[in-house]
Structure 1
Amino acid sequence: MTVLAAGADPVEIRWQVRRFDPGEQPGPGSWPQDGWVAAVVPGSLAASAAVVEAYGVPALAEADHSTWWLRGNVILDQPLPRARLVLDRIATHADVYLDGQRILRSDNAFRRHVIDLGALTAGPHEIAVRIASFGETPVPRKPRPRWRSSLLPDPSLRWRRTPLLGRIPTWEGVLPPVGILGEAGLRARPRAEVVSIRTQVEPAPDGWTARLALHVRAAEPLPVEVTLDGERLTAEPTLEDDGAWHLRLSHDVGVVSGDDGATLWWPHTHGLPRLRRLHVRVGGETVLDRRIGFSHIRARREDDRFAIAVNGVDVFVRGVVWATTDPLGWTSDPAEVARDLDALVAAGINLVRIPGTGTYADQVLRELAAERGLLVWQDAMLATFDPPEDEAWLAELEAELRDQLGAWGGWPHLAVVCGGTETEQQPTLMGLPPERRRMTALHDLLPRLADELVPGAIHVTSSPSGGPRPVSIEHGVSHYFGVGAYLRPLEDARTARVSFASEALAFAIPPDPSTMAELDDLGLLQAPDDRGRGSAWRRAAPHDRGTSWDFVDVTDHYVRAWIGRDLGDTDADTDMDAATRGLTVEGWEDLQRRTVARVMTESFAWWRSSLTPTGGAIVLAHRDLAPGPGWGLIDVIGAPKAPLLALPEVLAPVALLLLDRGLDGVLLEAVNDTGRPVRGTLRLEALDLEGDAVLDAELELAVPARGHAQVEVEEALGGFRDLGWAWGFASAPAYSAVRAAWVTDGAGEVRATRPLLPPTIPTPTIPAQVVAPTTTD
């Protein structure tokens, strides 16, 4: 870790770590000099290969039950008269020492601590951090919670302000974070500081008014230079009652039109994610140099439903629940994060949701998401537990939220601030009445702070919430797993009238075959046997605590339903098993990939179309946490999986949606999210069972900006053809798929294919060795 001292070259801090038993009480000046291991900061213990080698993964999985000391050595070449120590997100119960003197106690892994130290002499200095075990940091046992978490067995986590991820027993591949997860730097305290940045966009008679508000505080009257994209903004500091000099700048960027790409920030699916460079110098010293943006984000809540509008335009949200890219070391590698975000953008994803089970979006994710045109939904770090009503606990939560929400000042892409994951769902599904579900943290504290610190963002009570019950599908935001864990037929995505799915479409998805080969080379892929790939591989499939099924069972259900039903069998399970007898595990995994891709694309096609009232859906999740059939759209080594590669067809800014309405036939709906009309020549084809085009038609198709247009496919092809074999007049289906290609004048060639039959199961070339995998491990 490199730190900067004023007027000096960067100073390196070399961190070491050592484990102690809970009963041992060493400290600076009395600890043993042997047994120390090189540590990585920022990061959790497992971020260091040396730590993993020294202690082993099983010990790091139990790191909460040991005491850990981190020590960092600094040598200052010259005195540092205004020294400051920044420690961001120490997990979890920590005492911090400088040269043997305790300077901080922290019990919150989400806080950013800034400690003014006064003057430091030239020469060596030691920073030491003692991270206590959970056993020596007890939490209150009363008052008792109104409900227990179904996700976590450790009730003490209700009180501890630390990530739940890594401590959820049914989620494989994650280690509990122990260490300094963010910045750890010794630096000179600046002569001035930016107190707040706020960008605001409001409606005006002929467009939008964009405004920048900047507050800078200095201890003395120093000259201040502020530039926005090189343009000098003028304001003078004034002496205020606190004895400091304050510059309060309010700058009108001007009136802009709704689609003005030169000023407004847009999600990439709807426009350009325009960012501006803000530079602040005080007394010749740079105190701020970063990008900001301007956007207007509001919720539409007519009829108790939910949708998001950006810059006055309704945005169909296609999002993902973000998962850490480093579930062992808890580091945030910009290159790794950028690679994942680029894959999501290429698929048409326009929002990432940071769930309440992990940690808040850091600077890396904020900046990379902004420049790529991705909205962010930020949960408070609350999930399933009953948040304490204790005043001290609530005060610490407020300090945490001020740290985290304050960091969003000036960013244009924070869409939603939410009170956590299933915080209201848990008591609702346990049957508690509304008065027993009221929580100060969710219903009083968070909305007040959101209004104060990020007034441009939408506040949502929790995920899910809204409607007559917080778990209502037709109202507010819901966790929709009708198609998914609750094994509803695929048509349920169309008929359930989903308002907005803030979590949806969770399936166990095998990685791509190339990743399987790479995992096999690394010894991480279990060879198949007569029941699949073995228990260790299967354990990586997410499952709920206390259930007898996992999400592989969910995926297999839809494989069986697709193949059995669509073949017209009367006994789907029996005939499907007969049809797939002798299929290899690899062949079955291919069916799983194709099935999940089909389920996701068809669900999103219905939700995005004008035929349903859905405002958006967020897939669980963005990435796998362990080698295996996880629910990530990206696998554990960072490669896209089959559904992510299929989604661009229905999520691209300009797309063709082919919707099979059963007896009403196939409808094509063209959607255009861009700010310009799109027109061109549309070619439609119906394919026979051999895959040859036997019906075709060409027509001109134009779609207005931010608009939709519909084509009745069978009418365009000449009349009633029963493409989907819904009427069943013939003895067998005649068509295998509908295909569309739209050659446009501005969006290139847009393609879509709608399979009307399940895939043909190949005859195995290897002697039968594997029966279709069973639904339990």
Structure 2
Amino acid sequence: MTSYQSLHEGWTVSGGDLVDVPAAVPGCVHTDLLTAGRIDDPYLDENEKKLAWIGRTDWTYATTFSYTPGSVRADLVCEGLDTIAEVSVNGSPVAETANMHRGYRFGVGPLLRDGTNTLQIKFTSAYAYAEAQQQRLGRRPNAYDEPFNFIRKQACNFGWDWGPTLVTAGIWQPIGLHTWSVARLAEVRPQVTVTGGVGRVELRVRLERASDEPVTISASIAGRTAQATVDGVEALLILTVDDPALWWPRGYGDQPLYDLEVVATSASGELDRWSRRVGFRSVRVDTSDDGFVLVVNDVPVFVRGVNWIPDDVFDNRVTRDRLASRFRQAAGANVNYLRIWGGGRYESSAFYELADERGFLVGQDFLFACAAYPEEEPFRSEIEAEARHNVLRLASHPSLVMWTGNNENLWGHEDWGWKPALNGLSWGSTFYYDLLPRIVAEIDPTRPYWPGSPYSGSPDRYPNDPAHGTTHIWDVWNTDDYTKYAAYRPRFVAEFGFQAPPTYSTLRRSISDEPLAPDSPGMAHHQKAADGDKKLQRGLENHLPAPRDFDDWHYLTQLNQARALAFGIEHFRSLRPLCAGTIMWQLNDCWPVTSWAAVDGDGHKKPLWYALRDSYADRLLTLQPRTGAPLEPGGPQTEIEPGAVVPPAGEPALVAVNDSRTPWAFSATVTRRNLDGDVLASAVLGATVAVAGSTTLPLPAGVRTPGDPSVEFILAEIDGHRAWWFFAEDKDIPWPAPDYTATADSTKVTVTARTILRSLTVFPDRLHPTAEADRAAVTLLPGESVTFHIESGVPLDPDALTRRPVLRCVNDVAR
């Protein structure tokens, strides 16, 4: 009674001077032209500059398919068209679309003929459409000189401070022909809740009909069934499950998933079938006392998060296996939360299924970012349809725990000079405060909605106040040193970050500059942030010795990025329970670029990834400045000169943070030492840290007070945990020339220190792109050893593994 015919074969694309280029569906014009050899790889060197014409060209996709009449209805199902499309079948117009972020279904039965049929989709230039809408409605403020806020398309296609300007077009999601009779399941809306040990599934089902024949709808989950006979088009079925196994975030328990099935039948037999895997769990946000605490199954969860951007500019290259690799990297870095940023896309079913299976919490932004958005038609209707489509599509996933109205638009309206520029024009506020929360309340009332990121909990309050709700901290990167993080006492940090270049192998694959230099043409093109290199340089000058060559610069900028995020995360976690979460910017990249990512565009881990793993560990031991005064929420209490290193606000104290599921009883040895490793003072400090708790222990005066700050430091140790406190910056410390022995084979590098070695790191990807080490930035005292274990698909040169530029430490720069 129902069948689906995929229409993914035999496509060609034509545009400009190009005719009938073979095309892949799903896909986009850029990858089609690249596969056909018609363009150079836009990710390499400065090739991006040569391809702007693609986004300003109209493109037509065409194919033929066979059809045999039989069913009453035949629908063309387009799950995603990018973006301004005219669809025709056998030369007859079917529909026009203007939204990349929603799916479409068109009845085409009367247009089909027995045998061969033609299908054509013409894509008008996204620029032509957006610029026409901009001219019609009036300009709105925007973070970039691109019209992305005047078209419902992935905003970062138009470039970002980490992404290229590659404006795509094409059939980016599956397309097919659905034939059916009597009725089909037009909408299945599950609401899954659990209260008092009883799971409840409310299923609201809507039919589309081709006849008045009675339809029976049956649903089943966990051995429970419900059934209803429908003469009209709507039905409500309720199933209860006693004592279901709860779905938990990773680190808090297991992730049991239940098969939920819905079947529509009639006297004619089975008509349609729908199935999902769902999980029983509750979620809410506790905003009492102006905080922002995510609560799952009545357990507060400290968010150890990362921001997620599209993993490739060209979505058809983001396979399930590639997503699984990113998820493994996130899990390996002790991440429990992924925030899907509002300038990209509503993520794929594969993304959410993996998150469900692996216990990641997911926050999904609605797709508005860094701009004022018009509220006039056709945008208001398109945005309502888009929101309804995606809330319904994603509502069954237990991993999804938060809907957020936009990225930085509330902040931008208040703080970025938008109001005079708008002069009364609409900017999106009714979307964030009215339309979107109403849709979530109607379709997905089991999840919280938050109007924006950042947002301080009330429209009357400054939206980026760290003392309330969620905050973004970007003055650190843009104008200040990373030590300024310590001046903040936020309730929840939803964005903060610091840049570094990608791994050396990624640079060498994507940039052919000879020689490589921070400002060589390819390097400069792959730095999209405003004054990005100047900001990198400021960070180096504040903390590290001056680089002598590109290899030094590459190592030191990556090290500085890792230290910056570790500094911020450990400070914010040490404020628990005042601070309830951090979401660093960002986990991944969409192409090879200097950026804030921990995993670069080729999927390789930067030193930041290893710092995340340590700073996000279940049990954190850290040395933090404390004054003895109670910690109050807020931001910097005094004006700080831009770019200045902020001195610690207090004396070092030992802080232990416990995000494990059992109490942590520890006894730590804390020593003050000199660069020779000699113990100048010591103490043993102990405590028991409750589950989801933190403990601060003051250090004895003899340990916390240096005799000569330039050559002394504090080291706290327990059960493999180490925390360091240096009284001076690396650039001001008289590091000894590095003295060590090193041995290696293809699988490991063992280093034994004769002198202190600061932030010892091995970079095996310099020998082969697939090679990576199991740790980074290890500081060794004289007499200590470390073994770096290497994973590589090919044998590596043992000698090269034991010397510069593969094996690095700060000492060899400071000489």
- The letter of the residue matching 1:558 is G
Q: CA deviation at 1:76?
A: 4.0
What's 2:571 paired with?
606
Correspondence list, 1:390-469, <5 A: 390-429=376-415, 430=417, 432=419, 439-466=429-456, 468-469=461-462
Which one of 552, 555, 558 corresponds to residue 539 of structure 2? 558
Correspondence list, 1:680-759, <5 A: 688-691=674-677, 702-712=688-698, 714=699, 719-723=700-704, 727-728=705-706, 730-733=707-710, 735-742=712-719, 751-756=721-726, 758-759=729-730
What's 2:12 paired with?
16
What's 2:76 paired with?
85
Q: 1:43 to 1:432 in 2, by over 3 A?
A: same
TM-score (structure 2 length as normaliser):
0.77
Alpha-carbon distance between aligned partners in 2 of 1:64 and 1:287, rounded to the nearest angstrom:
39
- The letter of the residue matching 2:15 is R
Q: 1:615 to 1:86 in 2, by over 3 A?
A: same
Alpha-carbon distance between aligned partners in 2 of 1:457 and 1:126, rounded to the nearest angstrom:
44
> Could you list the per-position Cα deviations for residues 220-243 of structure 1 after superposition, in whole angstroms to 9, with x for gaps in the alignment?
4455543324x1x23221335xx3
Which one of 157, 165, 173 corresponds to residue 166 of structure 1? 157
What's 2:105 paired with?
114
Which one of 138, 147, 169 corresponds to residue 144 of structure 1? 138
What's 2:242 paired with?
254
User: Which moved further from structure 2: 671-680 or 645-654?
Assistant: 671-680
Alpha-carbon distance between aligned partners in 1 of 2:383 and 2:553, rounded to the nearest angstrom:
48
In 2, are the aligned partners of 1:540 and 1:626 still within 8 Å (CA)? Answer: no
SS of 2:176's equivalent?
strand
SS of 2:694's equivalent?
strand
SS of 1:348's equivalent?
coil
> Could you list the per-position Cα deviations for residues 29-70 of structure 1 after superposition, in whole angstroms to 9, with x for gaps in the alignment?
xxxxx8211112222222336556224555643323111001
- The letter of the residue matching 2:28 is S
Q: CA deviation at 1:758?
A: 4.7
Are 1:35 and 2:19 matched, yes or no? yes
Alpha-carbon distance between aligned partners in 2 of 1:686 and 1:290, rounded to the nearest angstrom:
57
In 2, are the aligned partners of 1:298 and 1:309 still within 8 Å (CA)? Answer: yes
Q: 1:13 to 1:663 in 2, by over 3 A?
A: closer
- The letter of the residue matching 1:274 is P
Q: 1:626 to 1:224 in 2, by over 3 A?
A: closer
Are 1:48 and 2:32 matched, yes or no? yes
What's 1:484 paired with?
477
Alpha-carbon distance between aligned partners in 2 of 1:738 and 1:43, rounded to the nearest angstrom:
53
Q: 1:586 to 1:201 in 2, by over 3 A?
A: same
Alpha-carbon distance between aligned partners in 2 of 1:102 and 1:625, rounded to the nearest angstrom:
36
Alpha-carbon distance between aligned partners in 2 of 1:8 and 1:385, rounded to the nearest angstrom:
40
SS of 1:235's equivalent?
strand
Alpha-carbon distance between aligned partners in 1 of 2:535 and 2:332, rounded to the nearest angstrom:
27
Q: 1:100 to 1:266 in 2, by over 3 A?
A: same
In 2, are the aligned partners of 1:215 and 1:247 still within 8 Å (CA)? Answer: yes
> Could you list the per-position Cα deviations for residues 570-596 of structure 1 after superposition, in whole angstroms to 9, with x for gaps in the alignment?
xxxxxxxxx536x22212221222222
Q: 1:263 to 1:49 in 2, by over 3 A?
A: farther
Alpha-carbon distance between aligned partners in 1 of 2:60 and 2:356, rounded to the nearest angstrom:
37
Are 1:585 and 2:569 matched, yes or no? no
Q: 1:187 to 1:685 in 2, by over 3 A?
A: farther
Alpha-carbon distance between aligned partners in 2 of 1:268 and 1:488, rounded to the nearest angstrom:
33
Which one of 107, 123, 138 corresponds to residue 115 of structure 2? 123
In 2, are the aligned partners of 1:174 and 1:328 still within 8 Å (CA)? Answer: no
Alpha-carbon distance between aligned partners in 1 of 2:716 and 2:271, rounded to the nearest angstrom:
61
**Percent same amino acid at aligned positions?**
24
What's 1:570 paired with?
none
Are 1:278 and 2:248 matched, yes or no? no
> Could you list the per-position Cα deviations for residues 297-318 of structure 1 after superposition, in whole angstroms to 9, with x for gaps in the alignment?
2122234332322222222222
What's 1:569 paired with?
none
What's 1:318 paired with?
304
Alpha-carbon distance between aligned partners in 1 of 2:19 and 2:736, rounded to the nearest angstrom:
58
Correspondence list, 1:92-107, <5 A: 92-107=83-98
Q: CA deviation at 1:455?
A: 1.5
In 2, are the aligned partners of 1:670 and 1:708 still within 8 Å (CA)? Answer: yes
What's 1:383 paired with?
369
Q: How many residues align?
A: 691
What's 1:619 paired with?
584
Correspondence list, 1:615-694, <5 A: 615-661=580-626, 665-679=651-665, 688-691=674-677
Q: 1:118 to 1:523 in 2, by over 3 A?
A: closer
Which one of 465, 484, 494 corresponds to residue 486 of structure 2? 494
Are 1:595 and 2:560 matched, yes or no? yes
In 1, are the aligned partners of 2:402 and 2:447 still within 8 Å (CA)? Answer: yes
Q: 1:754 to 1:186 in 2, by over 3 A?
A: farther
What's 2:518 paired with?
532
Alpha-carbon distance between aligned partners in 2 of 1:418 and 1:285, rounded to the nearest angstrom:
37
SS of 1:37's equivalent?
strand
What's 1:65 paired with?
56
Alpha-carbon distance between aligned partners in 1 of 2:33 and 2:428, rounded to the nearest angstrom:
45
SS of 2:597's equivalent?
coil
What's 1:300 paired with?
286
Q: 1:42 to 1:523 in 2, by over 3 A?
A: closer
Q: 1:45 to 1:135 in 2, by over 3 A?
A: closer
What's 2:757 paired with?
none
Which one of 483, 496, 499 corresponds to residue 504 of structure 1? 496
Alpha-carbon distance between aligned partners in 2 of 1:441 and 1:671, rounded to the nearest angstrom:
39
Q: 1:54 to 1:655 in 2, by over 3 A?
A: same
User: Which moved further from structure 2: 394-403 or 296-305?
Assistant: 296-305
Q: 1:171 to 1:488 in 2, by over 3 A?
A: closer
Q: CA deviation at 1:187?
A: 2.8
In 2, are the aligned partners of 1:542 and 1:631 still within 8 Å (CA)? Answer: no
**CA RMSD between the two structures:** 3.3
- The letter of the residue matching 1:461 is P
Alpha-carbon distance between aligned partners in 1 of 2:69 and 2:171, rounded to the nearest angstrom:
27
Q: 1:328 to 1:61 in 2, by over 3 A?
A: farther
TM-score (structure 1 length as normaliser):
0.81
Alpha-carbon distance between aligned partners in 2 of 1:663 and 1:166, rounded to the nearest angstrom:
43
Correspondence list, 1:326-345, <5 A: 326-328=312-314, 331-345=317-331
Q: 1:47 to 1:762 in 2, by over 3 A?
A: farther
Q: 1:460 to 1:12 in 2, by over 3 A?
A: closer
> Could you list the per-position Cα deviations for residues 335-385 of structure 1 after superposition, in whole angstroms to 9, with x for gaps in the alignment?
111111210121122222222222211212121122222222222221233
Alpha-carbon distance between aligned partners in 2 of 1:108 and 1:10, rounded to the nearest angstrom:
22
> Could you list the per-position Cα deviations for residues 485-507 of structure 1 after superposition, in whole angstroms to 9, with x for gaps in the alignment?
231451x32332223222211x2
